[in-house]
Every structure is written in structure tokens, then in C-alpha cells.
Amino acid sequence: MHIKTRIEEFLLSFIKDAFGQNIDPGSILVQKTRKEFKGDFTVVVFPFTKLLRKPPEGIGKLLGEALVEKLEDIESYNVIKGFLNLNLKVDYWLDFFIEHHSDVYFGYSEPKEERPVVVEFSSPNTNKPLHLGHIRNNLLGDSVSRVLGANGHNVKKVNLVNDRGIHICKSMLAWLKWGEGATPGSTSQKGDQLVGEYYVLFEKEYIKQVSRLVETGKSREEAEKEAPLMAEVREMLKKWEEGDSHTVELWKTMNQWVYEGFDVTYDRMGISFDKIYYESDTYLLGKKIVEEGLKKDLFFRKPDGGAWVDLSQEGLDDKLLLRPDGTSVYITQDLGTAELRYKDFNPSEMIYVVGNEQNYHFEVLKKVLAKLGKPYSDAVHHLSYGMVELPEGRMKSREGTVVDADDLIDLMEKTAEKITRELGKTEGMTKEQKQTLYKKMGLAALKYFILKVDPRKNMVFNPNESIDFNGHTAPFILYTYARIHSVLRKAPNDKLLPLKKTIAASQMADKEKELLKLLHDFPVIVNESAEELNPAIIANYAYELAREFNQFYHDHSILNEQDRKVSEFRLRLASFTGIVIRSAMDLLGVDVVERM
């Protein structure tokens, strides 16, 4: 059991026995001691003052004495105002090191016997290629899945492809009008990029039509509804839903182009799924669910024929579920998809990784499912994340100002090559080794720079900043990992001494202890990251660990240390640090490198 947990459980028991008080476990705050104070863990005493009717200093002294007496790993304590700082015995850190230093699964939990957790991410539209916004979504969904898995959860990664709807028909109509039979083969383009060009073209021509109608005296709202292109695209969607053979055949062909393009991008990012859902398969089930709700008077129709739900009792307004012409909207297929996932996996939780502009949508989805009496309504969890922009501003798909995911990955590889060459990090490597390094470094920089930011925050992605070998970046962490392996390769091959004989508690230097304390935190970090669905916790921990190792490495020789026992202890400490860095980066989907 982790020492933090032991302290918390002891305090619960002690306060109950000594004062006859049952306190809320959530009121016991045990955290790492801040660096300006002496200690390893700190108990925040203030929450107990009202309950125990004593000043914080007196409570701190009372609890400190009890902890030192009853928990053998605690050596001493000090109280500063309302904070009880606890010092652990050095032997505690050595015992921890002896037990875990070679455990490649350190920080990971055993698989739990439980229903699966379904994580939906990516959710691309088949009218355009994946772009920078999709990259944040994919990296966040993949990392959250890895972190949940590391905590023992049975994770199912799923993707819902938005392969139908009016936005898809826009690309199809534009291709029919102006494509002249173009294909990925005839244009030497990825299919998703080709189709995306026609989506942008549709929007440009549509804007022209709207502007001309506005010039004739119509309001912008009237012009947007009456523009000929919009009427044509609505008619195409209606034909698709009615099963018109020519429309469906074109839809299948263009979607297949896009799927093949997506697969290339997913492979480059290292992204995979356990199951892929398609809106074209789920929207009919969603329509059926809406019809059932209408029959039960849970929903209602307006005079124009549209199906709506009244959520005023739930603190919201009316929500459209089916258009007057019978075509579905986003929430229609989300109702069907949720039902399918429940039948497929019977999940304990369904996590939707979707941008924060859809916060209201998921609030409505949960309430509609609850209104329908679905047993999985409480399982819906929206992992809402902020937008990602470039230094020059926000991207807009309709205007063609998005940054294509493939182009960005190419840019990252080229930037990694340029900076790595300039710093002389590739000496002695073959051409193939160099190319592999550039690809790994570029992708690592991209993933880390995005994942180190709290998902809830908007962010600006700067490619050049992400490659800085001396900054808060993946290259800095990967270089630290490569440095560790350089040391391990140079270590003598003769048999190491038994670990217990390498160093005594009295010999441990402050930097060695600080590094051990940070390694000791890893299981707690992994757990916290899973509970908060926040990979940034792990990303920032990996940077802190790499920085702490470099400070230790700067202050203490490993291979040139004259005392063999100390040298071998430090060698194992370096190896343990490498294990944890690798594990932390793997949870971010980042591959480490052993040579640089």
C-alpha cells in the first residue's frame, strides 16, 4: 500500500478512536511537501480545526506524534501553521527502490474484472482530411485509453465516422459539378485531400450565390436558404436517404477514397481502434428510437412535421430530433450509436472525446436518453477539450484554412531533421537510422506539445517551440532517455553487486533521494491522470523526472565514481529512471529513442 494511503487511513482511524469523530475521507489532504519546507509528505490540518475544536498547530503536533509512534516509516515531523510536514526514513526510499527498480510495469495496475470502458475519439467527417483539430482529438483519445488501461480498466477504443449528412453531400455535389471525373489516382492525391478540395469549392460557390441574392434585396438568412446550391444539396441528401442508386453509388465511391486516406494518416500517428461505427448505419436506429419516443408521448411534433423533445423540466429548451422532411440530425444518430454500443459492450462508461463547442449537445443527449429510460444514460461522459490554433489564428474548414494533419506531420519531421542536424545529434548513424530518428522525433514533439496542455484549455501549437531540445518538450525528454541508455551501454559488463550491498542509507545524496521520491510518485500520477482523464498530468511529470535526472547527472558521476557500491547504485537508479520515462511516454503514445 502506498505510504500516502497508509497515512490517510491511519488519520481516519486515529481521529475516530481519539475524538469519537467520523470524518469525511475527502477532508484528509495528504500531498507532497513543497520544496521550501523540510519534509516528504504534508498533511493539511485546517479541515480538522472546527471538528476537533483545537488550534491547527496543536492538532498538527498531536497527529505528528501519533504518526511517528505508529507508522514505522515516519522518522520525524514539523508543524508550520496549519501544515504537518512528515519526514520518512531514508530506509523507506531504499526499500522502495530495491522492490521496484527493475519492474518494467511499475505504476501499472492489474486488470480489473469489470465491464468495459468505451472511449470514442477521432469522429472525422468524410468530406475533408484530418487536420490539426483532429490531431488533438486523436492524441487525447488514444492517450486517455492508454492511461485507463494502465489503471486496469478494460478499454474499448471506438471511432464514429460521420459519413452521411448535408456536409458530405456538399463534397459530392461539387465533384459532380466541377470534378470532371477526377480520382485520387488521376490527380496523385490522397483521397481525403481530394474530397476536401471539393467541400471547400462548394462553400466558395455557395458564398457567391448568397452574396448575389443579398444584392437583390434579400436578407442574408433568406439568401442562405434560397441559394440554388443549398436547394440542390438538400435534394441530394433526401435522395440518399431514399436509397437512390446513383446517389448512393457516388457516396460509396467518394467515401472509400476518404477511408483510404484516413488509414494512411492514422497509421502515421500510431492510432488504431477496436471498432469503427458509421453514422450511415446508426442514424436509422436513431430514427426508430425517436419514433418510439413519439409513440410514448415523450417527444412531440411541431406543425411543420419536425420531431422535438421538450427539456424545459430538465432546465433546457426544446431540441430538434428529426427535421420536417424526415431527415436526421446529429443527435438522431448519437441516440442510435449509444444504443448500439450498449448492446455491443454493455459498458460501465461511454467517454466521448469531443470539443467543447459540443458541451450543450452532450448535455441534451444525456437528458434525452434519461427521458427514454435508457439504463446507460448515466454512463455517458463528455470529455470536453479546448480548441487548438496556430500562432496565426483559428482554422476554418469551409475557407480551406485548416492545417492538414499529413502536412503538419511532414513539417514536424523536416523541422526535427533540421534542428537535430544543427545540434549534431546524428553522428555515427546510418541514413536509415537518421530517417527513423527524424520521424520519431517529429511525431514525439507534436504529440507531447499537444498533450502537455490540460485538455480543457484552448492552446496554440507552435511547431518550432515543440522541437526545442532545451525546453519543455519531447526532444528534451527523449534526449534524457538516450543519455541514460548511453550510460548503460558504457557500463562494465562484469557482474553487479547484490543491490542491498551497494549503498547504505547514510550514503544517499540529496539528489539521489529527490530522484527516488519522484520515481515513487509515478503510480499516483498514473492513477490521478486516469481519474481526471488528463494526460497532461503524465506529460508534465515526465518532464519533471527528466529534468531531475539531468540535475542528478550533472552533480554526481555514475561510471567514474570511485566507490563501486555507489557507482552501481547510481547505475541502477539511472536504469529505473529510464524505465519510468519510457512508461510515461508510452502512455502518451510517444516512442522513445535509445541513441541520439
The 10s digit of each residue's pLDDT in 466-519 is 888 888 999 999 999 999 999 999 998 777 777 776 776 667 888 999 999 999
Q: What is the pLDDT of residue 398?
A: 45
Domains by residue range for the chain, with CATH: 3-88 (3.30.1360.70), 121-277+332-389 (3.40.50.620), 405-587 (1.10.730.10)
- Note the pTM of the prediction, 2 decimals: 0.91
Q: Can you give 349-371 as a three-state secondary structure string?
A: EEEEEEEHHHHHHHHHHHHHHHH
Provide the percentage of residues in the chain whose pLDDT is more than 90.
Answer: 76
Which of 322, 336, 339, 330 lies closest to 362 in space, CA to CA?
330
Residues of the chain with pLDDT under 70: 392-402, 501, 504-506
Question: In the structure grid, which three cell numbers stand for residue 359, read together?
Answer: 458541451
The 10s digit of each residue's pLDDT in 43-70 is 999 888 877 788 889 989 999 999 999 9
Q: Can you give 55-67 as a three-state secondary structure string?
A: CHHHHHHHHHHHH
Distance CA 246, CA 239 (A): 9
Q: What is the pLDDT of residue 506?
A: 64
Q: Measured between alpha carbons, how far is residue 204 from residues 125, 397, 398 in Å?
A: 19, 11, 8
Question: In the structure grid, which three cell numbers stand for residue 410, read together?
Answer: 511532414
Q: What is the pLDDT of residue 228?
A: 96
Distance CA 410, CA 573 (A): 37
Distance CA 231, CA 225 (A): 8
Residue 182 is which amino acid? A
CB contact set of 537 (below 8 Å; sequence gap of 6+):
525, 528, 529
Q: Give residue 212's Cα distance to chain centre.
A: 45
**Do residues 191 and 406 lie in contact, with contact meaning Cβ atoms separated by under 8 Å?**
no
Which of 317, 402, 407 lies closest to 124 in space, CA to CA?
402
Residue 154 is which amino acid? N
Q: Measured between alpha carbons, how far is residue 187 from residues 193, 197, 254, 259, 398 in Å?
A: 11, 12, 14, 17, 22
Which of 185, 449, 203 lies closest to 211 in space, CA to CA?
203
Q: What is the pLDDT of residue 347?
A: 97
Residue 245 is which amino acid? S
Distance CA 451, CA 467 (A): 14
